[in-house]
């Protein structure tokens, strides 16, 4: 019932957006948070953009694209993650795009975005291209994070656009698509052992009408380690809780923070840790 009510509210919101697009908002150059839209076919896809005070000098800054969970929105993940304050400390811009009817097409999940077959990879491409063209984002330092369904979308983007991003951080998310990245990808994951929505040990069904189980989190991390040709996840992660382990120092790193008895949630330390993780990753080669 709650999902049905939430879905009805989102449908009404989408209808409003189609008829009355959000105002362009403040210039993307200005520090602070503003609303913007990107035309994608017949729809205007909204996003929030937070620009740090360091942007005053006009130079491009590293960009984090933060993807909300299923049946949530950009404002929700902005508050949930607290990324604005973290980004200001570290000098990142943060883009918070909205999924279609509150969902992302991560592959086998989720709901409306999957049912309609919306191309969210193309949407993220256009979002990043727009911010690079406007001089806000450094194209060699683009990162993606996401929660739940948004985490699955971050995985999908890393699989299909590994040459565009310098790393990802996923919170309570699942890989829901076949994955053959063209280059190694640094991955930081956060997951609770008592997560009822994306089970830590795998199993269940990825979507309401998709009878395909979630991959166990540790198996998924082994996949990324194997793809990146890295050693086992046995090294402590610098300045992180004891339950965070990674593949050790290097330009490409895979790391997992297991939150014992943690649920489907964004850990309070996650945003600061991912900002430092991203800062330690090398820039993409010049093209």
pLDDT (tens digit, 9 = 90+) per residue, 67-88? 999 999 999 999 999 999 999 9
* Cβ atoms of residues 139 and 92 within 8 Å: no
User: What confidence score (pLDDT) does residue 55 get?
Assistant: 72
Give pLDDT, residue 27: 55
Domain ranges of the chain: 2-279
Give residue 20's pLDDT.
37
The pLDDT of residue 22 is 37
Question: Bridge-partner residues for 47, per DSSP?
Answer: 36, 97
What is residue 29's predicted lDDT score, i.e. its pLDDT? 62
pLDDT in tens, 189-238: 999 999 999 999 999 888 777 788 999 999 999 999 999 999 999 999 99
pLDDT along the chain (287 residues), means of 10: 42 41 50 95 94 84 98 98 98 98 93 90 98 97 98 98 98 97 98 98 85 94 98 96 96 98 98 98 92
- Identify the CATH assignment for 2-279 out of 3.40.50.1820, 3.40.50.10540, 1.10.3720.10, 3.40.50.150: 3.40.50.1820
Q: List all residues 6 or more positions away from 70 whose beta carbon is below 8 Å from its beta carbon.
A: 99, 102, 103, 104, 109, 110, 111, 148, 149, 150
pLDDT at res. 42: 85
- The reported pTM is 0.90
Return the residue matching tokens 């060699």.
Answer: 140
Neighbouring C-beta atoms of residue 125, cutoff 10 Å: 15
Q: Alpha-carbon distance 260 to 269, whole Å?
A: 14
One-letter-per-residue 3-state SS of 213-248: CECCHHHHHHHHHHHHCCCCCCEECCCCCCCEEECC
For residue 212, the model assigns a pLDDT of 85
Q: Are the C-beta atoms of 266 and 242 separated by less than 8 Å?
A: no
Instruction: Tell me the torsion sign for CA atoms 47, 49, 92, 258.
Output: negative
The C-alpha angle with vertex 227 and arms to 221 and 228, in degrees rounded to 5, equals 90
Coil/strand/helix, residue 249: coil
């Amino acid at each position: 019932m709650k999902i049905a009510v939430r879905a009805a509210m989102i449908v009404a919101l989408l209808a409003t957006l189609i008829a009355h697009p959000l105002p362009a908002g403040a210039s993307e150059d200005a520090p602070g948070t503003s609303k913007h839209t990107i035309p994608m076919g017949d729809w205007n896809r909204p996003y929030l953009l937070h620009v740090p005070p360091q942007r005053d000098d006009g130079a491009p800054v590293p960009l984090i694209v933060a993807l909300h969970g299923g049946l949530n929105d950009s404002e929700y993940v902005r508050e949930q993650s607290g990324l604005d304050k973290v980004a200001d400390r570290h000098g990142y811009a943060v883009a918070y795009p909205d999924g279609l009817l509150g969902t992302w097409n991560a592959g086998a999940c989720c709901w409306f975005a999957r049912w309609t077959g919306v191309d969210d990879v193309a949407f993220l491409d256009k979002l990043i291209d727009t911010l690079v063209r406007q001089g806000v984002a450094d194209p060699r330092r683009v990162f993606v994070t996401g929660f739940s369904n948004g985490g699955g979308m971050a995985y999908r983007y890393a699989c299909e656009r590994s040459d565009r991003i310098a790393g990802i951080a996923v919170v309570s998310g699942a890989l829901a698509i076949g994955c053959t990245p063209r280059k190694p990808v640094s991955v930081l994951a956060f997951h609770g052992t008592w997560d009822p929505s994306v089970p830590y040990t795998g199993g269940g069904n990825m979507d309401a009408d998709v009878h395909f189980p979630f991959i166990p989190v540790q198996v998924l991390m082994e996949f990324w380690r194997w793809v990146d040709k890295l050693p086992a996840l046995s090294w402590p992660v610098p300045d992180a809780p004891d339950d965070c382990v990674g593949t050790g120092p290097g330009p490409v790193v895979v790391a997992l923070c297991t939150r014992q008895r943690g649920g489907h949630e964004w850990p309070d330390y996650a945003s600061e840790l991912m900002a430092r993780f991203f800062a330690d990753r090398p820039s993409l080669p010049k093209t």
